[in-house]
Amino acid sequence: MKKRIWIILAVAVILIAAAVTAVVLLTNGSSQEKQTQQTSGNTDISHTNDFSVEGTVHIFNMSETGKYILQNGSCNYSVVIATDGGERIETAAKDFVNFFLEATGFYLPTVYAEDVTYSADACYIVIGDNQIARAAGVQKETEVLGEQGFHIKTLDNSIFILGNTEVAAQFGAYELLTQLFDFDYFGVDCYKLDRDVKEVSLMQYDITDVPDIGIRMTNYQFLMSDKVTAQRLRLVNFGDMVIPVGGANVHNSGKYIPKADYPDKTDWFSTDEKNLCYTAHGNAQELEQMQRIVADVIIEHFKSDPTKVLITMTHEDTQTLCTCPACTEMMNYYNGSQAASIVIFLNRVCEMVEEYFQTPEGKPYDRDFYVLFFAYHATNKPPVRYDESQQAYVPVDDRVICNPHLIPYFCETNGDYTKDFYDEDSVNIPIAENMKGWSVLSEKLYFWMYSANMSYYLTPYNTFDSTQAIYKLAVENKVDFIYDQGQSRQTGSATGWSWLKIYLYSKLTWNVDQDINELIDKFMENYFGPAADTMKETFYQWKTYANYQSDVLGYSGSRSIFYAVLDTKLWNRQLLQTWTASISKALEEVEYLKTEDLTKYNMYVKNISTERIAYNYLLLMLYQPNMTEADIALAKEQFYHDQMLANLGLQKELGGSITDLLKEWGII
C-alpha cells in the first residue's frame, strides 16, 4: 500500500511538473543555449542493488611497472595475432589498432605470431593463444574462463590477452582498451574513448574476467545484422552457435520426425497433433525407434558442422503437450511435470550420441556437444519435489537428472517481466521456483526471457526495475546463457529506450553486481551528449509513470508482454505531449554541434529523435480525435522525421510494417 501511495504522489508531481514544463517550453521554445538542464535527481531503480551474487569471477589486479607503452612521442609496440586466429581475432586487432590511433595519434602495426620471436625486450600486445604466447610461457586457466572469459597478463614488456575461444580474446581486447582509454560502447558508432592521450603507462596486469552469464545473445534483429555493434557490446548471435535442424533453431521437434513422413506412426505423435509423444503412448519398442531417429539426426548434423557444439530439440510453440494415458501417468508420477517424459526421452538420445562418438567410426568427429530442450509452458515445471528435511528441491528420481550433454532451455511467456522474480506479489514466484527446481536437475541452464511488448513494438515496456534482479536469480541458479528477447524482428533501430536496455543487458549479464543507476548515468551522458540531462529527466518521468501504470492501472500480470497497451486509461495525453516537447528541447540542445562537429550532431539527433517516436505514436493512435489540426500535423511531421532517421521496420512481432502505418495516417 505504501508503494502504491508513493507512486500516486510521484505521478501527481509529474503531472504538475508537466504543466509547468509545457509553459516553459512554450515560452522558451526557440532557445538554443548550450547549457543543459539539471535533473531533479535519480529515481533509484527498485531494490536490485540490495544484495550481491557470490562466487563470480572479476579479478582486476594491476600495479605500476615504471615503464610506458607511449611516452615522449615514442611507441614501439606491435599487435600480435596468429595467421589462423580467425575472423574475431582479426577484428579485435583492427579495432584495437584503430581505437589506439584515435586515442593517441599513434598507429600500432599488426604482425603475425609466426613471423616474430619473443624476448623480454619485445613490446607486444598479443591477442589470442598463439605461438608468441606459448613461447613466453603465458598460460590460461581453461576451466575458470569458460566460453568467453579472458586473462589480461603483463610479462616483461608485453601484454597478453588469452581466452578459450577467439570470441573471448576479442572481448579481452576491448577490456584492455577500457583499461587504457576508458573505452565503452553504447550504440551504433557511439562510444566513449579518451583522446589526445600523450602518455600510456605499461601496467602490471593480472586480470581474470569471466562473465556471470557465460553467453549473452543479441536480442534485436538490427543487432543480429550489425556484427560490429554486437561484438563491441560483447554479444553473440544464437545462429553463430547453434546448428539448425530443418532450418529452425527452436520449435523444431517436428523437423526431427515430420508427421507427414510417418503417417502410420500414430503412437509417435501427441494428442494435440502438434507435438511428438515422448512416451510413444507407452510403446517401448516404438519409443526406441523414435529415439534412434532423433539421435541419428543429431549425429549427422554434428558431423556436417564441426565448429558448433549446440543443437536444439525443442517442442512446438504450444501451451499443451500429449495427454495420452502413458504421458498422463508419467506426469502424475513426476509431481505434475510434463517435462519428465522429454528429459527421459532425450537422456537416452544423448546416450546414443555419446555411444556413436566413442566408437572407432565416430572418432573423426569426436567433440563436445550439447542438446537443448524447452522448459517452456507445459514443460516449465520440473520433475522435482520439495524435501522439507533438506529445505531444497530434489529430483523425483534419477531418471530425470539431465545427462551432462542435455541442457534445459528455461522460458516462460506467462511471466510478468515488469516485476522481478523475487516479488511475492507477482505471478513470477512459481516460475522462479521452477527455475530453482531445474537447477537441481542439470549442470547448467539456458534462459529465454523478455523485455518488450511483442504486440506493440513502438511503445515503451518497463523492465528497468526488474531486469537486474532477474539476472541475479539466473546466476544463482546455474544459468550460463541468456536471451533477453527484445524486439527480435525489429530492423533499423528501436524506440522506447531500447538502446538503454541493450546497454544494460550487455553490462549486467557480464557482471550482475554493477550499479545500474551509474550505468544509466553513463549511458545518458554518452548516448545523448549535451542533451543528457533533459533526456535523463524524460526517462525518469516516464519510468515513474510506468510504475503507476503497472501498480495502479493494471499494466502488469501474466503475459504482460502481450498487454493491449493502446488504451487511453494507460496514457495521459498531457504527459505524452510534455515528453515529446522535452525531446524536442533536447534536439535544440545539440543544435550548436551542427557547425562544430557534424558527425556527432547527426548521431545525437538520431539517438534523441528515435525516443520521440514512441510518444508521438501513442498520441496519434489514442488522441487524434481530440487533438487540434496543428497538433496532429506536428505529431505526424515529427513522427515522419524521426522514423526517416531511425528506419524502424515493424509495429509488432508478427506483421504490421511502419510503411503501412505511414500510409494509414496519410503521411506518405
C-alpha cell of 127? 591477442
Q: Which helix (H) or strand (E) element contains residue 473?
A: helix 467-476
**What b-and-e string marks burial along 126-163, b requiring 16 or more CB atoms within 10 Å of the CB?**
bbbbbbbbeebebebeeeebbbbbbbbbbbbbbbbbbb
Q: Which helix (H) or strand (E) element contains residue 479?
A: strand 479-485
Confidence bin at 49 (pLDDT 50/70/90): low
pLDDT over threshold 70, residue 31 = no
Taking the mean position of all CA atoms in its chain, how far away is CA 433? 23
Cross-sheet strand order for the sheet of 58-70: 58-70, 200-209, 150-155, 158-163, 124-127, 78-81, 110-112
**Residue tagged 616483461 (cell numbers):** 156
pLDDT over threshold 60, residue 39 = no
d(CA 514, CA 357): 42
pLDDT over threshold 90, residue 32 = no
Indicate the CATH number for domain 221-225+231-524.
3.20.20
Q: What angle do CA 61, 505, 422 make, to 5 degrees?
A: 100
d(CA 102, CA 90): 18
Indicate the CATH number for domain 58-211.
3.30.379.10
C-alpha cell of 522? 553513463
CB neighbour class for 573 (10 Å; exposed up to 12, middle 13-18, buried from 19): middle
Cβ-based neighbours of 554, under 8 Å, separated by 6 or more: none
22, 28, 32, 38 alpha-carbon torsion, rounded to 10°: -60
Spatial contact of 325 and 259, defined as CB atoms under 8 Å apart: no
CB neighbour class for 230 (10 Å; exposed up to 12, middle 13-18, buried from 19): buried
The pLDDT score that the predictor gives to residue 23 is: 40
The pLDDT score that the predictor gives to residue 424 is: 83
Spatial contact of 67 and 204, defined as CB atoms under 8 Å apart: no
499 strand-pairing partners: none
Cβ-based neighbours of 498, under 8 Å, separated by 6 or more: 220, 452, 486, 487
Spatial contact of 368 and 302, defined as CB atoms under 8 Å apart: no
d(CA 506, CA 495): 18
pLDDT over threshold 90, residue 666 = yes
Residue of 15 and 637 predicted with greater confidence: 637
3-state SS, residue 408:
strand
Residue of 148 and 35 predicted with greater confidence: 148
**What b-and-e string marks burial along 535-559, b requiring 16 or more CB atoms within 10 Å of the CB?**
bbbbbbbbbbbbbbbbbeeebbebe
pLDDT, tens digit, 9 for 90 and up, residues 481-493: 999 999 999 999 9
Other C-beta atoms closer than 10 Å to the C-beta of 71 total: 13
Cβ-based neighbours of 297, under 8 Å, separated by 6 or more: 245, 256
pTM: 0.93
The pLDDT score that the predictor gives to residue 44 is: 47
pLDDT, tens digit, 9 for 90 and up, residues 272-310: 889 999 999 999 999 999 999 999 999 999 999 988 999
pLDDT, tens digit, 9 for 90 and up, residues 206-236: 999 999 999 999 999 999 999 999 999 999 9
384 strand-pairing partners: 395
pLDDT, tens digit, 9 for 90 and up, residues 62-111: 999 999 999 999 999 999 999 999 999 999 999 999 999 999 999 999 99
The pLDDT score that the predictor gives to residue 41 is: 38
The mean per-residue pLDDT over the stretch 660-666 comes to 96
DSSP 245: B
d(CA 170, CA 168): 5
Q: How big is the chain by its Cα radius of gyration, in Å?
A: 27
3-state SS, residue 624:
helix
The mean per-residue pLDDT over the stretch 328-346 comes to 98
> In 527-568, which ranges are E strands?
none
For the chain, give every domain's residue range: 2-50+526-664, 58-211, 221-225+231-524
- For residue 14, which of 413, 385, 548 has the smallest C-alpha distance? 548
The pLDDT score that the predictor gives to residue 341 is: 98
Rounded to 5 degrees, φ, ψ at 173 are: -65, -40
pLDDT over threshold 60, residue 443 = yes
The pLDDT score that the predictor gives to residue 272 is: 87
Confidence bin at 36 (pLDDT 50/70/90): very low
Spatial contact of 13 and 578, defined as CB atoms under 8 Å apart: no
Instruction: Tell me if domain 58-211 and domain 221-225+231-524 are identical in fold.
Output: no
Task: Count the residues in the chain.
Answer: 668
C-alpha cell of 407? 541442457
Residue of 395 and 13 predicted with greater confidence: 395
Classify residue 405 as left (phi > 0), alpha (psi -120 to 50) or beta. Answer: alpha
Taking the mean position of all CA atoms in its chain, how far away is CA 640? 29
Other C-beta atoms closer than 10 Å to the C-beta of 13 total: 13
C-alpha cell of 14? 509529474
| Residue 331: C-alpha distances to residues 243, 337, 445 (Å) | 30, 5, 22
Residue-averaged pLDDT of the chain:
92
pLDDT, tens digit, 9 for 90 and up, residues 381-429: 999 999 999 999 999 999 999 999 999 999 999 999 999 998 888 899 9
pLDDT, tens digit, 9 for 90 and up, residues 50-59: 678 888 999 9
The mean per-residue pLDDT over the stretch 148-153 comes to 98
pLDDT, tens digit, 9 for 90 and up, residues 462-509: 999 999 999 999 999 999 999 999 999 999 999 999 999 999 999 999
Residue of 630 and 19 predicted with greater confidence: 630
The mean per-residue pLDDT over the stretch 337-358 comes to 95
pLDDT over threshold 80, residue 42 = no
The pLDDT score that the predictor gives to residue 602 is: 98
312 strand-pairing partners: 372
Instruction: Spell out the SS3 assignment of 188-230.
Output: CCEEECCCCCCCEEEEEEEEEECCCCCEEECCCHHHHHCHHHH
DSSP-assigned letters across all residues of 409-472: EEE-TTS-TTS-TT-TTSTTHHHHHHHHHHHHHSS-EEEEEE-S-TT-TTS----TTTHHHHHH
Residue of 10 and 559 predicted with greater confidence: 559
The pLDDT score that the predictor gives to residue 18 is: 56
d(CA 160, CA 181): 17
d(CA 37, CA 15): 19
Instruction: Spell out the SS3 assignment of 60-111.
Output: EEEEEEEEEEEECCECCCEEEECCCCCHHHHHHHHHHHHHHHHHHCCCCCEE
